[in-house]
């Protein structure tokens, strides 16, 4: 990966049209997560995720707490339990639990604890083939020691993506219920204070002032991706997205007083290395103890 020094510019220099272009480009990997009870078609959306592959296993990486919220009743590899739904672009898919396998990569002991990471594998089936034909899966078979200098250094830009609940909308049209979800990107620059580590896991934080177009809450963005960006600035103030790389997974929001909010995410070494060190690939219906 190219690890040249980043070009310098102010976030305020980025035109809205460029930000929208980046959001559309990265939407190829993002999904909104939801579930529907057996026997119903009503989908309840509760979080975000990103389509990834690891060692030829395809699925969704997200925050562990998203799937284990009291409303989701997620039971992988079973013919019972709720079905997992994902929304992307202008379509959605619903997966029966018997074709899913959850690999719990970082299990919080209590609500709000860390690590907080899981991977829902979609087994080989026609639905996976369809999903692969219309969406992109980011490969996590990269060396984090290559990713970090190329996308995770101080003064480099990054963005936090997902589907904030503030923008979820149900519209009833006669007997039809249509759900509008909005894929959002929030742009930041790494500072030395944004990085932290605990045990083997590393983290990154994005701090923002409330208001000025920011959602009142990042609820719904948990599990969504954080992308490192390499942006080229032309002499005519034209900006070009040269490269993007997955560098994190959103796990929580932190209130910093009355007018500031912070989004906290697992960072590069967590998602490319640490999370997978004890992975036990398995088939549906075979129970393996959770890994903490």
Beta strands in the chain (DSSP E): 30-36, 44-54, 57-62, 83-88, 91-95, 100-106, 117-122, 138-139, 157-162, 169-173, 176-180, 184-189, 195-198, 201-209, 225-233, 239-255, 260-266
Q: Say what the pLDDT of residue 286 is.
A: 44
Gap between the Cα atoms of 156 and 50, Å rounded: 22
Q: Say what the pLDDT of residue 289 is.
A: 42
Q: Say what the pLDDT of residue 291 is.
A: 46
Q: Say what the pLDDT of residue 71 is.
A: 66
Name the DSSP class of 8. P
Q: Which helix H or strand E contains 36, and what residues bound it? A: strand 30-36
Strands 57-62 and 157-162: unpaired
75-134 tens-digit pLDDT: 888 887 789 999 998 788 999 999 999 999 999 988 889 999 999 999 999 999 999 999
- % of the chain with per-residue pLDDT over 90: 55
Gap between the Cα atoms of 246 and 225, Å rounded: 7
Q: Say what the pLDDT of residue 283 is.
A: 65
49-64 tens-digit pLDDT: 999 999 999 999 999 9
- How many other β-carbons are positioned within 10 Å of the β-carbon of residue 77? 18
Query: Which contacts of 71-74 are long-range, i.e. CB under 8 A and separated by 24 or more positions?
Result: 71/35, 71/44, 71/46, 72/35, 72/46, 73/35, 73/37, 74/35, 74/102
Gap between the Cα atoms of 119 and 247, Å rounded: 16
Q: Say what the pLDDT of residue 62 is.
A: 96
Under-70 pLDDT residues of the chain: 1-8, 70-72, 167-168, 175-178, 210-218, 256-258, 283-292
Q: Say what the pLDDT of residue 130 is.
A: 93
Q: Say what the pLDDT of residue 19 is.
A: 94
Q: Say what the pLDDT of residue 53 is.
A: 97
pTM over 0.85: yes
Q: Say what the pLDDT of residue 5 is.
A: 65
> Which residues have C-beta within 8 Å of that of residue 245, sequence separation ≥ 6?
1, 147, 150, 151, 227, 228
CA distances to 53, 91, 283 from 94, rounded to whole Å, are 19, 11, 20
């Amino acid at each position: 990966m190219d690890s040249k020094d980043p070009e310098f510019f102010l976030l305020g220099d980025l035109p809205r049209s460029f930000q929208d272009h980046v959001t559309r480009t990265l939407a190829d990997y993002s999904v909104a997560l939801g579930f529907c009870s057996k026997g119903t078609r009503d989908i309840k959306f509760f979080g975000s995720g990103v389509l990834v592959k690891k060692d030829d296993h395809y699925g969704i990486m997200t925050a562990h707490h998203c799937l284990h919220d009291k409303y989701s009743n997620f039971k992988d590899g079973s013919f019972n339990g709720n079905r997992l739904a994902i929304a992307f672009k202008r379509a959605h898919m619903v997966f029966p639990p018997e074709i899913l396998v959850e690999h719990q990569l970082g299990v919080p002991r209590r609500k709000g604890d860390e690590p907080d990471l899981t991977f829902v594998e979609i087994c080989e089936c026609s639905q996976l083939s369809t999903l692969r034909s219309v969406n992109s899966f980011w490969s996590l078979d990269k060396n984090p020691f290559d990713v970090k200098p190329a996308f995770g250094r101080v003064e480099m830009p990054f963005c936090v993506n997902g589907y904030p609940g503030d923008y979820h909308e149900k519209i009833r049209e006669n007997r039809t219920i249509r759900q509008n979800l909005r894929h959002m990107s929030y742009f930041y620059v790494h500072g030395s204070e944004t990085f932290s580590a605990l045990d083997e896991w590393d983290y990154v934080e994005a701090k923002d002032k409330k208001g000025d177009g920011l959602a009142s809450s990042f609820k719904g963005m948990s599990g969504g991706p954080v992308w490192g960006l390499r942006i080229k600035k032309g002499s005519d103030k034209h900006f070009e997205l040269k490269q993007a790389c997955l560098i994190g997974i959103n796990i929580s929001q932190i209130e910093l007083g009355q007018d500031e909010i912070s989004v906290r995410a697992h960072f590069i070494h967590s998602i490319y290395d640490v999370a997978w060190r004890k992975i036990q690939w398995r088939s549906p219906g075979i129970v393996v103890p959770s890994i903490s």
